[in-house]
Structure 1
Amino acid sequence: MAENDTPEGAAAAPQQPQVQMNILGQFIRDMSFENVMAQKGAAGEVQPDVNVQVNLDAKKRAADHQYEVMTKLTVESKNKDGGEVLFVLELEYVGVFNIQGVPDDQLHPFLLIECPRMTFPFLRRIVSDVTRDGGFPPLNLDNIDFVAIYRNELARRQAETQPTQ
């Protein structure tokens, strides 16, 4: 080989910027746990039916390359027999991220998919602890498919902008 031991064409390809993501902080912005069952009193056997709704939001912070990503959970547990509400948990959990090297056209999905994936284990632990401390068995959330949530939101927004015929 010649002095330059790089394969042909390797020098011609531009170097992709290295993606860097650091979690600078995490916190609970807002949380509410309402133990309806304890307030009204429970009669007999209870079979819980849990419904979890997830909403995501992201915004740029004043500092360069810093973003705030919020995962909002609304968890409602009802009795399967009769539909009485057992408890309601609302939680807004925020991660503050320093993100560099992500192309502008990929930043929005990166913020709403990768960032919530990083904070989800902490959010899951909070939900488990709060439900246990509230007098219920700990609620261990299943993994959330943030890609599906992102795609569903894009489809919903696109449907809103389509003119109705």
Structure 2
Amino acid sequence: MSDTSTNPPENGAAGAQQQAPQVKMNVLAQYIRDMSFENILAQKGSTGNAQPDVQVQVNLDAKKRQTENQYEVVMKLKVDSKAKESQDQLFLMEIDYAGIFQIENVPENQLHPFLLIECPRMLFPFVRRIVADVSRDGGFPPLNLETIDFVQLYRAELQRRQKAQAAQGTETQGQA
């Protein structure tokens, strides 16, 4: 009786998987690039227990660094908190949080989504903590951001770009 598990097939999926190089990602550094927090409620001299309506905008940016296989990924958050009933501004926070990543063995056609999905996923827990600490230190209950679906965010940005290109193409054709 022969044992086929000790002799993997020469050609096939198992052989291809063994030859594929392992993706490597290292976070070399992470830091606050820019941050502002404005406690507008306190500036107006008001206090109160207004029920907040919080809006969070997220933008991502990635660029190649001069060092081989290194990339800088920046997550830009804008947190806008207003009172639900009066729509008076409570606070405004903006933070640009960056990470420098060493990334190896990611195919070129998969690098863009990797940089804008996997890298922000690694940075997010640190950004969440900073937002909670700063909002608490600013005199409000700590704001614990909900988990961001970076895959959905990436897909939405691709669709937005495709629509913009289609609209631009339509305008150019109409002018010709």
Question: TM-score with structure 2 length normalisation?
Answer: 0.87
Contact residue 82 and residue 90 of structure 2 kept, 8 A: yes
RMSD: 1.9
Cα deviation digits, residues 111-150 of structure 1 (max 9, x gap): 0000000010000000000000000000000000001110
CA distance in 2, matches of 1:90, 1:160: 26
Letter in 1 for 2:9: P
Contact 2:41/2:47 (CA < 8 Å) preserved in 1? no
2:54 maps to 1:54 = no
Q: In the alignment, does 2:19 pair up with 1:13?
A: no
Q: Which residue of 2 aligns with 1:159?
A: 163
Match of 1:132 in 2: 136
Cα shift readout 1:76-122 (whole Å, capped 9, x = no counterpart):
00001111000000000001000000000000000000000001000
The answer to whether structure 1 residue 106 and structure 2 residue 149 are counterparts is no
Counterparts of 2:29 and 2:48, CA distance in 1:
44
> Aligned AA for 2:16?
A
**Which ranges of structure 1 fall in alignment gaps of 5 or more residues?**
none
Instruction: For residues 47-83 of structure 1, give each alpha carbon's deviation from its aligned partner in whole angstroms, at most 9, with x where no partner exists.
Output: 1100000000000000000000000000000001111
The structure richer in helix per residue is 2
Looking at structure 2, the residues matched to 23 and 45 of structure 1 have their Cα atoms a distance apart, in angstroms, of 40
Choose which of 42, 45, 63 in structure 2 pairs with 1:41: 45
* One-letter amino acid of the structure 2 residue matched with residue 164 of structure 1: T
Query: What displacement does 1:5 show?
Result: 3.0
For residues 65-76 of structure 1, the aligned pairs below 5 Å read 65-76=69-80
- Structure 2: 5+ residue stretches without partners: 172-176
- Distance (Å, rounded) in 2 between the aligned partners of 1:43 and 1:126: 23
Q: Distance in 2 between matches of 1:44 and 1:130?
A: 19
Structural mapping, 1:27-38, within 5 Å: 27-38=31-42
Residues 9 and 15, structure 2, Cα contact 8 Å, conserved in 1: no
Letter in 2 for 1:160: A
Q: Give the alignment's TM-score, normalised by structure 1.
A: 0.93
2:174 aligns to what?
A: none
How many residue pairs end up in the alignment? 164
Q: How far apart, in 2, do the equivalents of 1:31 and 1:47 lie? A: 25
SS in 1 for 2:82: strand
Moved over 6 A (4+): none
Q: 2:84 aligned to 80, 85, 90, which one?
A: 80
From the superposition, tell whether residues 17 and 35 of structure 1 become closer, same or farther in structure 2 (CA, over 3 Å).
Answer: same
